[in-house]
Amino acid sequence: MLDFIRTKSKGVFAWIIVIAVALAFAATAITFVGNDRNLAATVAGTKVSWQEIDLLLQRTAAARGLQDLTQLAPEQLQQIRSETREALVQRYANLAAYKGHGYRVDNLQVASILSQAKVLQQDGKFNKELYQRMLQQLQQSDAAYRASLQENILLMQPYHGVLSSSFILAEELQKVVSLRQQTRDISYAKIAANKYRNKVKLSPEDTQAYYDSHKSQYLAAEAVNIEYLQLNLAQLMQRIEPNEAELQKFYKKNTSIFGSPAMVSARHILLENKDQALIALTKLKQGEDFAAVAKALSKDPGSARLGGALGWFAAGDMLPEFSKAAFALKNINDISAPVKSQYGYHLIQLVDKKTAQTQPFTKVKNLVIAKIKREQAELKLATQLQQLEKLTFENMDNLDVASKTMRLKKRVAKLKRYDNNVLAIATPEVLAAAFSDALLQQQSNSAVIKVTPEHYVVLRVTQHNAPRQLEFSEVVATIKEQLITDKSRQLAKATADALLNNLQRHKDAVHIKILARGDRRVSPVIIKTAFTTTEKTSAVVAMPNGNYVVLRVNNVNKPLLRTLEPHIMAKYKQQLQEFIGKNEFTAYNYSLLASVKYKLF
């Protein structure tokens, strides 16, 4: 097996677990109502659905406390969905390329990673309850999570390989550290634009002239009034009330979902051939400690340093021959005969075992209800989507037939073409349909549009308000405020320019010695300017709030590198090597994507 865990890597186990949590379901097949319209991309023979993307976003949002993605503006949501699609395409491209290059991860490595994950440990040992709790939070089965974790471990192999091989020359390191450790002695004065507002004088001619030359900025946005019908999975779930018989039937049919399989905790020693395995087995029979022999002889670097410990695993988590031998051991500390696998020969010691357990119905009743509701609602959604498509297509001039037949409430709303729309259904797809020629000119129904994988709408336009020129009287107050703001900033800028060569004599000037790059005494904008301005030179800085700052660099203080503590230089070296390695790895991944066939939809 590949030694993917570098001794120089820090926190690798925690990092792998975090990735697996974020993409826990990305490796599992997802089935849902839909067809090719649900397809987001294909890459290296793998299909990526919009549902997979949206489920990933929903899970990430929930983890960050944002329970409803409709809280985001439509353009933000669309951008995030597109970026997530790109990330998944890159992920699948990497997986295909890495596997083609011979990278492999087996179930033993997965078990080893899980057993060492700090987030799943209690009192220094793997805790099954913590693991089960995490699976419940992720709404994942043990098998699905392990499959995803296996992929994530594989993805980390070349990453750590590139990172561990990156380097920086001593001369380059000294140059970078010398620049990073520089400090500045500066003087600066703030010029507030608001102080000049009272000095601005405007005439009616000024505001009229500005309006005449900027009419294109003062247009009422194009808008439409719409009526629409919607199908929502959450609403369908609320209408479903399974009876006790249905709950019991589902529970009995799916007991594996509501419990845990039989598991064993084991150690193993991996040897290259049977002769080596027999020699090691003799040592163990003579009383030598299994963990000590594993550390000395095992060819599995991931578990050898842990005395061969693999932690808890179920029968399906390991290679069939390995699992069969491990579960055949009867008593604690029993050791198997040599077991042959594709990696060599294993000696397995039983550490502990647990029988399969099923949680009682009373403890999981709410979960059973939720699962039944969702399953039935998904089936109803599929059926009702087809019905909605049929009725709104056959009755293109109204939504009334579909509304009455399906008992769907007809809703109304107003949408603007370009302004921010707070309505949850105002996705780019809905806006495109609302302002399409078919709806504006033919006054027909739209197709059924997917807002999210669980929310669909069909709409029609009842009124179209074309963009119009706003009258001067409607915008005069806005223009006055804009002109006063602009002119007060111009006056502040003029004052700042006049101070460039006289800053030292300014009564409100602030003088700072030894200003560092991470200094919190001043704004980051001032720091950036200070470190891009040459010595004995002044500059005028435009601040984000419209004010100005006059700044002078009085002195550049260069560090004496020989006086720096060795650990500081070592820290810089590590950071720079990681920076270089990450850039190299990013470039490598881009090259992989270029070599893989993919298509975005």
- Mean pLDDT, to the nearest integer, of 550-562? 89
Residue ending a domain, among 100, 135, 165, is 165
Q: Provide the strand spans (E) within 390-454.
A: 411-416, 449-452
- Mean pLDDT, to the nearest integer, of 174-183? 87
Average pLDDT, the chain: 84
| 325 and 189 in a common domain | no
| 386 and 462 in a common domain | yes
> Taking the CB of residue 55, how many other CB atoms lie within 10 A of it?
19
Which single residue is written with the structure tokens 């699962």?
371
Query: In this model, does residue 540 exceed pLDDT 60?
Result: yes
| 160 and 40 in a common domain | yes
Q: How far is 548 from 551, CA to CA, in rounded Å?
A: 10
Domain containing residue 295: CATH number: 3.10.50.40
Comparing 74 with 585, the larger pLDDT belongs to 585
Query: In this model, does residue 28 exceed pLDDT 60?
Result: no
How far is residue 83 from each of residues 76, 87, 145, measured CA to CA in Å?
Answer: 11, 6, 24
H helix or E strand, kind and range, residue 229: strand 223-232
| 335 and 444 in a common domain | no
Is the separation of the CB atoms in 564 and 542 below 8 Å? no
Of 33-37, 336-340, 571-575, the poorest mean pLDDT is in 33-37
Q: How far is 555 from 186, CA to CA, in rounded Å?
A: 7
Domain containing residue 26: CATH number: 1.10.4030.10
Residue ending a domain, among 449, 469, 489, is 469
CA-nearest of 230, 239, 231, 232 to 373 is 239
- What's 485-536 look like in SS3? HHHHHHHHHHHHHHHCCCHHHCCCCEEEEEECCCCCCCCHHHHHHHCCCCCC
- Mean pLDDT, to the nearest integer, of 194-208? 94
Query: In this model, does residue 20 exceed pLDDT 60?
Result: no
Comparing 266 with 19, the larger pLDDT belongs to 266
Comparing 517 with 560, the larger pLDDT belongs to 517
Please list the residues that pair with 264 across neighbouring strands. Answer: 313, 353
Number of domains making up the chain = 4
Domain residues for 276? Answer: 262-355
Query: In this model, does residue 26 exceed pLDDT 50?
Result: no
The pLDDT value given to residue 39: 83
Is the separation of the CB atoms in 513 and 158 below 8 Å? no
Interval 567-583: pLDDT, tens: 888 888 888 888 888 88
Query: In this model, does residue 275 exceed pLDDT 90?
Result: yes
| 285 and 202 in a common domain | no
- What's 549-570 look like in SS3? EEEEEEEEECCCHHHCCHHHHH
- Mean pLDDT, to the nearest integer, of 193-216? 94
Query: Pairing state of beta strands 449-452 and 455-465?
Result: antiparallel
Residue ending a domain, among 355, 380, 410, is 355
Query: In this model, does residue 237 exceed pLDDT 60?
Result: yes
Of 48-62, 181-195, 568-582, the poorest mean pLDDT is in 48-62
Put residue 536 in one of left, alpha, beta given phi > 0 → left and psi -120 to 50 → alpha: left
| 294 and 335 in a common domain | yes
- Mean pLDDT, to the nearest integer, of 495-512? 86
pLDDT band for 338, please (50, 70, 90 cuts): very high
What is the distance of C-alpha 148 from the center of its chain? 15
What is the distance of C-alpha 180 from the center of its chain? 31
